[in-house]
Structure 1
Amino acid sequence: MHLTDTQRRLLDYLRGHIARHGYPPSQMEIARAFGFRQNRSARYHLDALRDAGLVELADGRARGIRLTTAGAAAASVADGVLPAGPGDPDGLLQVPLFGRVAAGTPIGSDPEVRREVQLDPTLFRLRPDYLLEVEGESMLLDGILPGDLIGVHRTPQARNGQTVVARVEGELTVKRLDHGPGHLRLLPRNPAHAPIEIGPTVADFAIEGLFAGLVRPS
């Protein structure tokens, strides 16, 4: 059985969606989750799963997708999508991957869902609400590398010293929070990068969430 990485991720997405909601996604929802521009791209990959004996498709029904026994048992480790542990086929988190976050100079946020991935909850110290792909090297000493997918636990509050995802003038960055009497800074963990000072001239600043852990795609 040969599947592309996209088809393996789609199979895991189908299994996670059914486990979470009790019903399969529509082709439109699949296209949105995977960033396909057209629904027929979703249908192309669904047809490949059907031909492999992993799903059954009922034409004319918006949610006419059913996993076969083989499809329900299949697991993928491609592109950071992790299988459930033995005896725990439904114990995964379904987490959307939104876009990029800077470990360096803040970069523009990308709120579009690129895809959804299934992750082992034991990888995270907090429950992640979404993932962001790291760009830049300012957090190297904390082991956060370019290309890592970091989990973000959505909250507007953080304690001094915690690693946060913050919005600065409409752009996102991941840094350590340094908050004390009379000062607020975002600290890098790489001496080649300077802190970001949050002073009175910064009109738009917010804590978007706490760093919850990371996945490093192979």
Structure 2
Amino acid sequence: MAVTRRQKEVLDFIAGFVERQGYSPSFEEIARGLNLKSLATVHKHITNLQTKGILQRGHNRSRSIDVLPQPRAQRAAPTRERLPLMGRIVAGLPVEAVQTSETISLSDIVGNKEVFALEVSGDSMRDEHIVDGDYVLVERTRAARDGEIVVALVRGSETTLKRFYVEGDTVRLQPSNQEMLPILIPAGQVEVQGRVLGVLRRY
């Protein structure tokens, strides 16, 4: 399961501490090691990692944070790198179908960019026809122009998919759903992690 940058730092610190010391660190040691001022922040990251099945805590013993072994990804079945592009279809009145010998692949869409995929949860972008269960193709970048759909890390711990606008010292993360309000947040508390290039949907 995906983790945020800060959660990965917490996880790496715990794993490295255990490897060096032979026992798990306390919350205070994690806070000092990562320059975190609040133990509540450490607790939040630990709880989130525990919820994701990456950490385990024993409630009846001290220094009881254990990194759980993660299952190895199953070997994927062979997939076609390219799919036959059979032509174009009109989403209106029927027209004569003409087959072609062209092909298409994801690289034709994303080019040479560094791209990753995320599964969408929720309906905040439904007016962009991005709905729960879709997959977005995201270019890894820390820069975005106003109006682009981005993956944004908010306050170092929460990620969201929204349209991005800079308004002075504030960033507006705008949902594409008339039932939802925009997120207004100081620019220093928002980090762009990527911008959306395309959407995949499985029926």
Normalised TM-score (structure 2): 0.48
Structure number with higher relative contact order (C-alpha < 8 Å, ≥ 6 residues apart):
1
Please say which structure displays the higher CA radius of gyration.
2
Normalised TM-score (structure 1): 0.45
